[in-house]
Structure 1
Amino acid sequence: MFLRRIAWVQFRLFGSRPDLVISPKVRNALNQRRAVVALESTVITHGLPYPHNLGAATSLEEIIRSEDAEPATIAILNGKVHIGLEPDDLKRIAEAKNAIKVSKRDIAYALEKELVGGTTVAATMYLAHSAGIRVFSTGGVGGVHRGADQTFDISADLQELSQTPVCVVCAGVKSILDIGKTLEYLETHSVNCIVYSDKNVFPGFFTAETQYKGQLNTENLEEVAKIIESSSDLGLHAGTILACPIPNELQVDGDFIEKIIKDALEESKAKRIISQQVTPFILKRVNELSEGKSMKTNIELLKNNAKIASKLAKLLVGPRFHAAKQSEANGNDKRRPKVTVIGATILDYEAVTNEHVQNDGGSYAGKMEQRCGGVARNHADALTRLGCDVTLLSAIGNDALGEWIRKRCNHMNWDNVVVSNKFSTATYLSINVQGNINFGINSIGNVIYDISPEYIKKHEQSIAEADFVLIDGNISEEAIKQIAITSKYYNKKSKILKLFLGK
């Protein structure tokens, strides 16, 4: 019964789902803590006509790669969520005649019917966050529609922004919407709304300026990254909008665009177009009425946003500059203690029941809990939260379990951890009956042997520079001996503080 329950929990882990495909390039980038930028696919399936959509999608991925980041275009194909598309997949969704627009509520339906689905801002945010991607580049976000006081038409994008901590890099709110009411909604729901400019003037998608202001403005992406990190540290679950005004040379005359938008809106009302079909219809008509000017502008602002998003994503996975900057800002010149922690990273499961369990092969009601574990990882986590400069030497598998741990421990430094392509992430199960742990079962496997003497030698400098070295007794005897030899050699700089034996 417990093992069947474990299988169910592993299925529930996002990365373990059989209806999810994370491309090898995206998976490796996430495991190696390299920058990843999510891209939506509704702009491909519904926003731009073929072949402009394919050309734009390819260009966006090339721009992100040129900035040393990995693009992750998200779409639904063959009954699966794809995070990161191969060139043939991009071509397929660009050419699809019957693709549907997939917001968050439509994901399950699209999977069940095995439809080609272009993900909206809301769906892309949700799926990106579930995969551990923190930055998402798009054109413009949805919002409160004009006339919402009569129709109550408010984009699901806003709801997702209020509850999903992803930074959406965009050119503001789509200009076909009620920008003022949209900004009021974002403020009410505690969404960071940052204008990436030298002045606090919220952009209007096709135009660089509107009559509205954002929460704040800055031209410093490090400041943006610090706000995102601080929000995460505070446990704030709302997302962040980084509104990037379109470059002046690309913007369209505001009065001209406003007139054709109003014409398109009137036409949509006359044709009784509602719900998800409103935005694609209006964008198409605006493009037609502007004789293609709006489409060219749309593509260029997409490229501009992708470049900015890539730079931001690199900051968020780079050296933990924000801790050093914060220390400097506080006037704190004290050096943080350096601690090197060596040992296991484990995904812990606990089966909990309050029933009277007997050895009779029966099934008992209870619950399963999962958490990040491993003696070394636990101590590295606690010391990081205490403000120490921690280096973790450990090993995880290049798999969904390893991703799950790293996603929930993104406050830790994973740069030196082995990501094994041969072995799975270690797991441990404890059986809790009426508040007592009856027994535990570990499946550490061979991944622990990636913490080898050779690996220790490779990271000798981490031991040499440490004030304290903590060793988890789960690693091999040979590895422990190598740590002891290295620590003794650098005895003026390093000290084995404690040897933790067993789980």
Structure 2
Amino acid sequence: MQKSGLSFPVRVSPEVRDAIASNKPVVALESTIISHGLPFPQNVDMALSVEKLIRDNGAIPATCAFLDGVPCVGLNESEVQQLGEAQKVNKVSRRDVAVTMANGLNGGTTIATTMILAELAGIKVFATGGLGGVHRGAEITMDISADLDEFARTAVAVVCSGPKSILDIEKTMEYLETKGVLVSTMGKEGTNVPGFFVTDSGIKSPYNFQSVAQAASIIHYSELMRLNSGQIFCVPPPAEIALDNSINAVIDAAVKEALSLGIKGKDITPFLLSTVAKKSGGKSVKTNIEFVKNNAIVAAGIAKEVASLRGETISEMTFTPSTNFSTTLTKENAINAKPSKLEKKSIKSLVIGSLAQDTISALLTDNSGDSNPGSITTSVGGVGHNVALAASFASRKYAKKGRDEIRLVSIVGQDAVGMSLLQSLTAEGLDNSGVYVSSKPDQRTAQYVSMHKDSGELIVACADMSIIEKIPVKHLREQIVKSQPKWLLFDANLSEDTMNELILATRDINIGVVFEPTSSEKCKRLAKLELGVFPLHSVNLSTPTYGELANMHAAMKEQGKFDDLERWFPVLDALGVNSQFREVLTLMGHGNTSLRKALKLGIIQQALSILPYIPSLAVKNGADGVLMINITQNADIYESHVNRFPHDGNDQETYKPSFTAVSKGTLLDGGGRMGVLVQHFPIPKSVENIKNVTGAGDSLMGVIMAELGNSSGDTVSSGWLYESNAERSQVLWRGMRAAGLSLQCDNSISKDIQTLE
């Protein structure tokens, strides 16, 4: 069993991950009914039969539990058996989660904990039996189930048969009302809340729903309004399985017995249910099992409708100007500024990263402590934005509208700057439906403000970018599911936890992942991520500068990434990076200045250490071009050589690398040979009249993302990114020409990128 890392230690089964990523309906299931509800093997048989019912009704079951301290969403049959047979299983509510994990215990999840795990995994619907609540005599004992508070803070819908009959149902409903939790009962208007074993508890239901589509619509609009609370959908047990009201006398007797024995806390519910089962001759257990199955069928129907609604649209947000809004932001502007509707179709490339307003001041004088005359320009910026815009321009040769190819995922505050940026994205032709708008007053839209001398030299700058680290993980997962991108890029402005979440979200689905280092300091965050190792790598490509590569290498070394003798070293050893290959590189360096410089600075040596974690590196060095270093599984088809004429002026067709070096490593069982492919691509044309250096690297990256998204090769094992061919040379030519165009442009990203063929 593999733990997913400290930032997201929940193990989600591959089947459930795939279903969530593909927007298939999923129904979460609790496990205390396995661990504390029924004896073995009846508990296992019941759990598996409920899972089968969910599958038969078109959804994927996701039973939640703790196995050896690991929180799991989705169990296989042997794991259900393991939990059902276990002699000692902790009953895990919210308070018990950390203790269960720390001590490596097995645990059955209550409603509260199942909701927590379901929300972390991205599951919206959960089926169970009866609801916990306010116990009888709670006005003295204060015995109230933690499940009720969970509904107020965890956005998962629970399909149940109402509060357990052993509870004070009237007080339970009052408590839920106080917490602002929706309770709706299936049936015509006026249908009362069911009472677990009985169809009618006698307590009025606040709302009623008549169909699974109506319930799904309630969940959908709750999500759109970002209420961040759960809903309770009560399904009365069918008449043929419900008990009559005589069961109430049995329950009253069991409650008195518990009181006399001093049983309370989390032990009281199992005691009462067990006692009622004995005194009813087992009828209560049979009823319990049958209405759990009935609830599962209804939940599957609701989950299918939720998936259908989420496939049509997502989060159309309406903004109300807050008190700190500029007076120039009119109501009409606010409405026009909201994110556009998320269309139901795949996006070739998803870019996740920073979106900011850049304000640049050029001072004509430099009188410290005084007002200075000068000029001020404002533009849309941020690494994520720049890459997405360049990719959109580069993609327009493939599509009539760039927004059909590229989507930016970022975050802005609910302030004037944020609304302005949303409008600017639309004006640029970028799809802004992936931009999350935070309503939290302390989360301001990112801004970068700098002051320069008239000569262009930086005097001082201030970067307020903290909001970028606050992008909700739920929003990122939704965007991945809805967009179904071929490639995904994230920049290092994101927090380490968020980056780990992205790696987890893409681990078992066929998406190519790119890491954009952003800066020499922020690129170090990569070292703390739970990175897989080739061929199970988490990141396919990174595009550092020489300085960023050195810092990435140093940080990974400090984190012990190169001490992994079980995973990292065998891959490096298989690449054939031996003394013979190093000698070839040294000899080739005598005839190639770029290679000689890279060897002297240790660039190639550092890249080789990183390759098992990131098998393709495009290392940038300004006017010296790009060094492509990657793992190949076809090393035998290449020979090391230096090209005397790597390009002919501005001719794309004759452009080629200045040198190719290849190591010859381990032979593969299916044919082919492991190795490292090293190539240098010089700039196609020298750039004069440089106006803006901000977006050159982002322009190169944008072209690469556009070309990856439209590549005919498989995202994991083939295509120009992994092998040397004419397409690779043309992609690098276009990327560096795009960088040159942006260098000569007043804005960070040149519109002329869309003219490159």
Cα distance change on mapping 1:346 and 1:106 into 2, 3 Å: farther
1:107-138, Cα deviation, whole Å (9 max, x unpaired): 11111221111010011101111111111110
Give 1:298's match in structure 2, choosing from 288, 295, 301. Answer: 288
Aligned partners of 2:41, 2:77: CA distance in 1, in Å? 14
Cα distance change on mapping 1:180 and 1:431 into 2, 3 Å: farther
2:478 pairs with 1:410: yes
Give 2:303's match in structure 1, choosing from 298, 302, 313. Answer: 313
Q: Percent of counterpart pairs with the same letter?
A: 35
The residue number in structure 2 matching 1:157 is 147
Q: Say if 2:345 and 2:482, in contact at 8 Å, map to a contact too.
A: no
The residue number in structure 1 matching 2:610 is none
Q: Say if 1:206 and 1:252, in contact at 8 Å, map to a contact too.
A: yes
Aligned partners of 1:54, 1:193: CA distance in 2, in Å? 30
- Give the secondary-structure state (helix, strand or coil) at the position aligned to 1:247: coil
Cα deviation, residue 414, structure 1: 1.5
Give 1:105's match in structure 2, choosing from 60, 84, 95. Answer: 95
The structure with the larger Rg is 2
2:407 pairs with 1:377: yes
Cα distance change on mapping 1:217 and 1:228 into 2, 3 Å: same
Cα deviation, residue 159, structure 1: 0.6
Q: Say if 2:35 and 2:108, in contact at 8 Å, map to a contact too.
A: yes
Cα distance change on mapping 1:340 and 1:71 into 2, 3 Å: closer
Give 1:118's match in structure 2, choosing from 108, 121, 144. Answer: 108
Q: Say if 2:352 and 2:410, in contact at 8 Å, map to a contact too.
A: no
The residue number in structure 1 matching 2:513 is 425
Bigger relative CO (Cα 8 Å, ≥ 6 apart)? 1
> Aligned letter for 1:246?
P
Cα deviation, residue 190, structure 1: 1.0
* Corresponding pairs, count: 409
Aligned partners of 2:384, 2:211: CA distance in 1, in Å? 34
Q: Say if 2:54 and 2:300, in contact at 8 Å, map to a contact too.
A: yes
2:257 pairs with 1:270: no
TM-score when normalising by structure 1: 0.71
- Give the secondary-structure state (helix, strand or coil) at the position aligned to 1:37: strand
Cα deviation, residue 201, structure 1: 1.1
Aligned partners of 2:173, 2:18: CA distance in 1, in Å? 37
Cα distance change on mapping 1:423 and 1:227 into 2, 3 Å: closer
Cα distance change on mapping 1:431 and 1:455 into 2, 3 Å: closer
1:457-478, Cα deviation, whole Å (9 max, x unpaired): xxxxxxxxxxxxxxxxxxx959
- Give the secondary-structure state (helix, strand or coil) at the position aligned to 1:273: coil
Aligned partners of 1:173, 1:296: CA distance in 2, in Å? 18
The residue number in structure 1 matching 2:235 is 244
- Give the secondary-structure state (helix, strand or coil) at the position aligned to 2:201: coil
Give 1:86's match in structure 2, choosing from 67, 76, 87. Answer: 76
- Give the secondary-structure state (helix, strand or coil) at the position aligned to 1:248: coil
Q: Say if 1:134 and 1:166, in contact at 8 Å, map to a contact too.
A: yes
2:127 pairs with 1:137: yes
> Aligned letter for 1:266?
K
Q: Say if 1:172 and 1:205, in contact at 8 Å, map to a contact too.
A: yes
Cα deviation, residue 204, structure 1: 0.6
Aligned partners of 2:130, 2:753: CA distance in 1, in Å? 54
Cα distance change on mapping 1:372 and 1:96 into 2, 3 Å: farther
- Give the secondary-structure state (helix, strand or coil) at the position aligned to 1:172: coil
The residue number in structure 2 matching 1:332 is none
Give 2:203's match in structure 1, choosing from 212, 219, 222. Answer: 212
Cα distance change on mapping 1:372 and 1:220 into 2, 3 Å: farther
Aligned partners of 2:287, 2:160: CA distance in 1, in Å? 13
1:343-377, Cα deviation, whole Å (9 max, x unpaired): 53244489xxxxxxxxxxxxxxxxxxxx9987333
Cα distance change on mapping 1:346 and 1:323 into 2, 3 Å: closer
The residue number in structure 1 matching 2:136 is 146
Map 1:419-458 onto structure 2 (within 5 A).
421=509, 425-430=513-518, 443=542, 451-454=709-712
TM-score when normalising by structure 2: 0.49
> Aligned letter for 2:349?
A
Q: Say if 1:340 and 1:391, in contact at 8 Å, map to a contact too.
A: no
Give 2:214's match in structure 1, choosing from 213, 220, 223. Answer: 223
Aligned partners of 1:272, 1:338: CA distance in 2, in Å? 59
1:318-366, Cα deviation, whole Å (9 max, x unpaired): 2558769x9xxxxxxxxx897978553244489xxxxxxxxxxxxxxxx
Cα distance change on mapping 1:378 and 1:205 into 2, 3 Å: same
The residue number in structure 1 matching 2:349 is 344
Cα distance change on mapping 1:210 and 1:115 into 2, 3 Å: same
Cα deviation, residue 140, structure 1: 1.1
Q: Say if 1:339 and 1:391, in contact at 8 Å, map to a contact too.
A: no
Cα distance change on mapping 1:26 and 1:499 into 2, 3 Å: farther
Q: Say if 2:182 and 2:232, in contact at 8 Å, map to a contact too.
A: yes
Aligned partners of 1:269, 1:120: CA distance in 2, in Å? 23
Q: Say if 2:23 and 2:481, in contact at 8 Å, map to a contact too.
A: no
2:279 pairs with 1:289: yes
Q: Say if 1:349 and 1:429, in contact at 8 Å, map to a contact too.
A: no
The residue number in structure 2 matching 1:178 is 168
- Give the secondary-structure state (helix, strand or coil) at the position aligned to 1:90: helix
1:196-223, Cα deviation, whole Å (9 max, x unpaired): 1124311111111121122210112222
The residue number in structure 2 matching 1:471 is none
- Give the secondary-structure state (helix, strand or coil) at the position aligned to 1:76: strand
Aligned partners of 2:525, 2:33: CA distance in 1, in Å? 50
Cα distance change on mapping 1:344 and 1:337 into 2, 3 Å: closer
Aligned partners of 2:263, 2:242: CA distance in 1, in Å? 28
Aligned partners of 2:21, 2:159: CA distance in 1, in Å? 23
2:15 pairs with 1:25: yes
> Aligned letter for 2:350?
T
Aligned partners of 1:499, 1:53: CA distance in 2, in Å? 63
> Aligned letter for 2:215?
V
Aligned partners of 1:209, 1:99: CA distance in 2, in Å? 34
Cα distance change on mapping 1:289 and 1:415 into 2, 3 Å: farther
Cα deviation, residue 500, structure 1: 8.1
> Aligned letter for 1:48?
L
The residue number in structure 2 matching 1:257 is 247
> Aligned letter for 2:192?
V
Q: Say if 2:22 and 2:481, in contact at 8 Å, map to a contact too.
A: no
Cα distance change on mapping 1:411 and 1:241 into 2, 3 Å: farther
Q: Say if 2:349 and 2:485, in contact at 8 Å, map to a contact too.
A: no
Give 2:224's match in structure 1, choosing from 217, 233, 238. Answer: 233
1:259-287, Cα deviation, whole Å (9 max, x unpaired): 11111111111111110000000000000
Q: Say if 1:430 and 1:439, in contact at 8 Å, map to a contact too.
A: no
- Give the secondary-structure state (helix, strand or coil) at the position aligned to 1:318: helix
